[in-house]
Structure 1
């Protein structure tokens, strides 16, 4: 008895220095082999329980492997334990008052207390509750089991187990008793195909050895980006660039950088643009002077110095104005403009339509004649309505009427490039829409000279 008590004390001491991990879903199976002690001499006074429970003088121990267990991890810290034990009872009520064979089969559900206190890895305490069948001599009956225990793991598979608890009988055939056990336990069942120490069920790359921080996946170049997410898995790079290097530090990965050794911009595919003209220096014929890409990065010439580049200047040898595409400003006399709008006010349309009333074509011909006299002038044709009806309908109608005037003038030889048309609906009245006369004035076409 003294040796067993010393062994239990040594085990409790060792539990403070063990390592490795508890039974879990990675290693769901544990088998154990050890010895058990049975204590039938339970005191009648409650105050003597602790003294009797700790004392070993009345323990019955069979000096051989006398207890075998099989544990299966279930889920959320719960484990099912099946146990079989054998013993020889010599102390029942008093020392050496019996010589009977004892055996028991138990099924207990264990709960790992690390789920409440936090995982200590090496120390695996638990409580258990279950039932079983105990037999003493010629008598046997069912029991209710409850107690505590712990496993202390030496490595990934081997550990020591200590368990202690009580068994409550139901039929007065076998007295209530305590049972304690100590033994070796072996856990197994986890599969680690690539041998990286991470079980396949938790390993995102079970066929390739990897690192724990990457769930078992490798990082060949050691840049902190796992290979499956690394666009450059064989060259150390930056996490911000998916594991690719950036030699010139411009924030563009070398593989995407047209100028990997010269700091540039993303817009230039990693190349510099010294003059900021949108043409990369390696393609810019004038890298220090801003110019358009169409001219190789060089500025366009302006031969007549009128501020309109030759490429846009329709009169490149004669100074002009931008509003007239670089040509001299078109001057049209006010009298001609007045005639245009007098004739335009005489353009009448059929009600609700964009077709002309009879006799309108003569006015349109006069308008075309004035436009012909000023071939360099451009004109805008604007359609307007009164406020009768829906605004959206008026807008569409005014647009169609202005377009009808434009189409007629084009049919009379006026270049379409000189004309634009637009409808403004009822938005710009020139008279009150509350009177018939005012509404008549608001239904109009206006022609303006474009500056």
Structure 2
């Protein structure tokens, strides 16, 4: 076993001086196992005979019962690798050819010749060609130096190998190498006979860098510092939705490919993070919410989701307290039924104006004054009540007198009496902006001033609707 230490040292030294660029997974490989030396093989014998004797293990193969070879190799790209192998053995079965014959030979024990060899080989792998991940045929050529007893010589080598990979990194290696010596008198301790050397052992590949430990080597890993998946070239898919994080707009929540990896629980085509109603199918116009009544106000903010209404009123129809078809907000008389043409207020009819003026004719003033007689107050109250029914209508109060007295006096008296009626109405709740007053004196009589009855008719207050 002391020889194995030498072999390991040689192998490690070769590993240290190999400087080719790393261009394949696990570029380094270390092999160790047993070797067998068969001195039967010689270029002077026929090829057919050599093949026939290839597996004559018992008669020809020299084997020691221990680990007897160590090899180190490194990939240099394009299916090529360079390797160095050191081996040790003992030759107690030396095959010599019987003089004067072609294939006849004799096996002798040369006295347990020691055997050491160091071989450099260029190898070519056919694994990629046969598209296999388990079986790897290998062809190799090279040279080496062999010590056999007291003799030593350089050799030219060539052979075939076959690797069976149990895993990506561990495999069984079988190899046969023919070593041709140019000084081949086949005399023990004098020269090194051409021979065949067989190897069987385990091979371990290593050296591939996988920084993130995801089983994908850095050279093939698009995300070498983050554990990922093989189908995404080593990049992660945190939410497991089949979309790698770099292309996933929602990398921590499972989603849909057509929505860049974001979820859409209600299936309305709007991602949950932008959907105001993520559990109810809606429309893009309503930010993912439904609009049941179709009034343009989304249900989630519509206070009347099943009844159409304007946005300004939170989706509810405007109230119409008096039911006149004019919404309270536009109804100048929201508690009194009116017409649309009059902004929701009742329109003053001719009949109403006739009634007002019938009352106005019965307004009695003290003689020559603008003060009311006592029996006139119920009439004034009745007029007030009617005006309150038309809160948006405006009226003009017009005073008239008979022809008694001067024009100036009658003009002033008519103005004062009209103003008195206006003041009474204002004091009893009629908005002053709705009323105006004017006096016409004796200028507009409706009856003769020659009779007492005619004069009584001319002394009057008339109510006119201002349109």
Shorter-chain TM band:
0.5 to 0.7
Cα deviation, 1:238-273, whole Å, max 9, x if unaligned, reads: 122122110121222111224433434445543456
Q: Which residue of 2 aligns with 1:33?
A: 32
Q: Which residue of 2 aligns with 1:215?
A: 233
Unaligned runs of 5+ in 2: 1-21, 97-105, 185-190, 317-340, 342-467
Q: Which residue of 1 aligns with 2:142?
A: 130
> In 2, distance between residues paired with 1:229 and 1:133?
58
> In 2, distance between residues paired with 1:224 and 1:291?
45
Cα deviation, 1:401-421, whole Å, max 9, x if unaligned, reads: xxxxxxxxxxxxxxxxxxxxx
> In 1, distance between residues paired with 2:77 and 2:211?
23
> Is residue 47 from structure 1 mapped to residue 48 from structure 2 by the alignment?
yes
> In 2, distance between residues paired with 1:64 and 1:264?
78
Q: Which residue of 1 aligns with 2:278?
A: 260
> In 2, distance between residues paired with 1:87 and 1:112?
28
Q: Which residue of 1 aligns with 2:102?
A: none
Q: Which residue of 1 aligns with 2:160?
A: 148
> Is residue 234 from structure 1 mapped to residue 252 from structure 2 by the alignment?
yes
Q: Which residue of 2 aligns with 1:95?
A: 107
| Equivalent position SS for 2:255 | coil
> In 2, distance between residues paired with 1:24 and 1:149?
22
Please point out which of 249, 260, 271 is paired with 2:267: 249
**Contact 1:31–1:69 at 8 Å: present in 2 too?**
yes
> In 1, distance between residues paired with 2:291 and 2:143?
82
Following TM superposition, by how much is the alpha carbon of 1:101 offset from its aligned partner in structure 2, in angstroms? 2.4
> In 1, distance between residues paired with 2:290 and 2:223?
41
Q: 1:59 to 1:278 in 2, by over 3 A?
A: same
| Equivalent position SS for 2:231 | helix
Q: Which residue of 2 aligns with 1:65?
A: 67
Please point out which of 94, 104, 127 is paired with 1:114: 127
Following TM superposition, by how much is the alpha carbon of 1:181 offset from its aligned partner in structure 2, in angstroms? 0.8
Cα deviation, 1:173-193, whole Å, max 9, x if unaligned, reads: 533221101122222222333
State the TM-score, normalized to the length of structure 1: 0.53
Please point out which of 65, 73, 76 is paired with 1:74: 76
Following TM superposition, by how much is the alpha carbon of 1:274 offset from its aligned partner in structure 2, in angstroms? 7.1
> In 2, distance between residues paired with 1:285 and 1:146?
91
**Contact 1:73–1:80 at 8 Å: present in 2 too?**
yes
Specify the structure having the higher radius of gyration (Cα): 2
| Equivalent position SS for 1:47 | helix
| Equivalent position SS for 1:54 | coil
Following TM superposition, by how much is the alpha carbon of 1:202 offset from its aligned partner in structure 2, in angstroms? 2.8
| Equivalent position SS for 2:54 | helix
> In 2, distance between residues paired with 1:46 and 1:217?
55
> In 2, distance between residues paired with 1:223 and 1:263?
22
| Equivalent position SS for 2:238 | coil
| Equivalent position SS for 1:117 | coil
Please give the residue correspondences for 1:319-398 in structure 2 after superposition, counting only pairs within 5 Å: none
> In 1, distance between residues paired with 2:284 and 2:143?
72
Following TM superposition, by how much is the alpha carbon of 1:117 offset from its aligned partner in structure 2, in angstroms? 0.5
Please, which moves more after superposition, 141-150 or 192-201?
A: 192-201
| Equivalent position SS for 1:95 | strand
**Contact 1:277–1:292 at 8 Å: present in 2 too?**
yes
Q: Which residue of 2 aligns with 1:194?
A: 212
> In 1, distance between residues paired with 2:145 and 2:286?
82
> In 2, distance between residues paired with 1:92 and 1:61?
15
Please, which moves more after superposition, 139-148 or 175-184?
A: 139-148
> In 1, distance between residues paired with 2:311 and 2:177?
88
Q: What is the Cα-based RMSD across aligned positions, in Å? A: 3.6
| Equivalent position SS for 1:36 | strand
**Contact 1:24–1:77 at 8 Å: present in 2 too?**
no
> In 2, distance between residues paired with 1:96 and 1:59?
12
| Equivalent position SS for 2:95 | coil
